[in-house]
């Protein structure tokens, strides 16, 4: 296979159908359709609606991605599709489509880890990765700290959330104060207008014995409960709630934990680069605080632009490109979706 393999990437882990083409580390096209509007009125993702939407969107998205890249499907060197973690029904649609293409065009197929893809995509934007770095993945379903040597072959999980993911916690607070779903961006916008010192909420695993025992782990469910208790207490006593200050105090607690632990991991492991991925990396306070704290320690922060932070095909194609270039064997033809795919497993 060429040193600059042409990879077709297919993403279908949740509510986005994404197809992208990458040659080596150069992005040729990246097309995404989302079914979020269909879920919003239910206040959460409805798996069956998501699966059906993938089925309906796949061919139009594929056609557009191939046209924009200006390549023919039989020219591609390999196909990469998201094998997990994610919703089984959604993954099944993308994997089935990928298998059909692999058989029809006689191409090798790689079922890759969607979450690791959230970091891999950064190489398309910011160039080659350093020899080792710390990865922070923050999304609606994941909050993880990773140490990465080679992104295709050497990924170690340092820590994870013990309960809610950062985006999930924001969505739950959004629900509590009545924002549309998903609440994350709304809570972020309100927080930016509030006083982050007005209400101090607890930092999960940030004190006492837990601070050492869970030094790279996160916990946001106690914080969410504290916010809910605060709202109830204010309502009971007839006080108006300043939602901007509430969101600012809550956002500060989440981002204080995320950034302190990420920068600590970089220092502990002697890494001078942090790469951030996942939809929550759109959070304005995360971007600001992480940059500030990392720079104070001489650590560089790489964050891809927002369109590459939410789920997309480029992240799958990018990781596929790393996997192919590392000489990893294609996935067995009978592989299926792995909804809980381990973060140390890059490829099926």
Residues that bind ligand KG4 (CB under 6 A): 14, 139-141, 167-168, 170-171, 182, 184-185, 188, 278-280, 282-283, 310-311
Q: Counting contacts by CB under 5 A, is residue 311 touching Zn ion?
A: yes
Q: Which is nearer to ligand KG4, 29 or 281 (CB)?
A: 281
Q: Measured between alpha carbons, how far is 189 from 203 in angstroms, rounded to an integer?
A: 21
Q: Which of ligand KG4, Zn ion, none does residue 320 bind (CB under 5 to 8 Å by kind)? A: none
Q: Which is nearer to Zn ion, 245 or 311 (CB)?
A: 311
Q: Please provide the size of the chain in residues.
A: 348
Q: Which of ligand KG4, Zn ion, none does residue 282 bind (CB under 5 to 8 Å by kind)? A: ligand KG4
DSSP state string for 180-236: PSS-HHHHHHHHHTS-TTTSPPPPTT-SHHHHHHTTT-B--HHHHHHHHHHHHHHHH
User: Coil, helix or strand for 149?
Assistant: coil
Q: Which is nearer to ligand KG4, 155 or 282 (CB)?
A: 282
CB of 204 to ligand KG4, least distance (A): 17
Per-residue x/- marks for Zn ion, 114-153, CB under 5 A?
Answer: -------------------------x--------------
CB of 325 to ligand KG4, least distance (A): 25
Is the Cβ–Cβ distance between 121 and 281 less than 8 Å? no
Element (H, E) at 243: helix 243-268
Q: Measured between alpha carbons, how far is 281 from 255 in angstroms, rounded to an integer?
A: 11
Question: Between the CA of residue 320 and those of 138, 171, 290, what are the distances in Å?
Answer: 21, 31, 28
How many amino acids of this chain bind Zn ion (CB under 5 A)?
2
Q: Which of ligand KG4, Zn ion, none does residue 312 bind (CB under 5 to 8 Å by kind)? A: none
Give the range of 37-45, 184-192, 289-297, 310-318 binding Zn ion by CB under 5 A.
Answer: 310-318
Q: Which is nearer to Zn ion, 141 or 204 (CB)?
A: 141
Q: Ramachandran region of residue 191, left (φ > 0), alpha (ψ -120 to 50) or beta?
A: alpha
Q: Which is nearer to ligand KG4, 12 or 283 (CB)?
A: 283
Is the Cβ–Cβ distance between 27 and 312 less than 8 Å? no
Q: Which is nearer to ligand KG4, 39 or 147 (CB)?
A: 39
Neighbouring CB atoms inside 10 A of 221's CB total 15
Binding site for Zn ion (CB under 5 A): 139, 311
């Amino acid at each position: 296979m060429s040193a600059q393999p042409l990879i077709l990437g297919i993403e279908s882990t949740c509510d986005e159908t994404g197809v992208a083409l990458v040659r080596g580390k150069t992005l040729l096209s990246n097309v995404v359709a989302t079914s979020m509007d269909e879920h919003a009125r239910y206040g959460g993702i409805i798996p069956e609606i998501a699966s059906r939407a993938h089925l309906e969107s796949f061919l139009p998205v594929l056609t557009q991605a191939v046209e924009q890249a200006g390549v023919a499907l039989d020219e591609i060197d390999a196909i990469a599709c998201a094998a997990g973690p994610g919703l089984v029904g959604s993954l099944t649609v993308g994997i089935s489509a990928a298998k059909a293409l692999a058989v029809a065009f006689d191409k090798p197929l790689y079922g890759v880890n969607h979450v690791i893809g959230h970091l891999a995509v950064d190489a398309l934007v910011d160039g080659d990765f350093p020899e080792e770095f710390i990865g922070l993945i923050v999304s609606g379903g994941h909050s993880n700290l990773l140490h990465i040597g080679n992104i295709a072959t050497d990924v170690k999980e340092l820590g994870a959330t013990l309960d809610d993911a950062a985006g999930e916690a924001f969505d739950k607070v959004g629900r509590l104060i009545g924002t549309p779903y998903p609440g994350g961006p709304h809570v972020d916008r309100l927080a930016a207008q509030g006083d982050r010192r007005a209400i101090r909420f607890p930092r999960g695993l940030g004190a006492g014995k837990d601070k050492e025992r869970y030094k790279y782990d996160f916990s946001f469910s106690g914080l969410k409960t504290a916010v809910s208790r605060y709202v109830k207490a204010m309502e009971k006593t007839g006080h108006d709630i300043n939602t901007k200050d509430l969101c600012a105090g809550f956002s500060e607690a989440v981002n204080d934990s995320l950034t302190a632990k990420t920068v600590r991991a970089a220092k502990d492991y002697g890494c001078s680069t942090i790469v951030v991925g996942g939809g929550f990396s759109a959070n304005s306070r995360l971007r600001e605080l992480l940059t500030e704290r990392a720079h104070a320690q001489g650590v560089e922060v790489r964050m891809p632009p927002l369109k590459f932070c939410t789920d997309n095909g480029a992240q799958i194609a990018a990781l596929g490109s790393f996997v192919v270039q590392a000489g990893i064997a294609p996935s067995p033809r009978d592989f299926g979706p792995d909804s809980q795919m381990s973060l140390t497993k890059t490829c099926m």
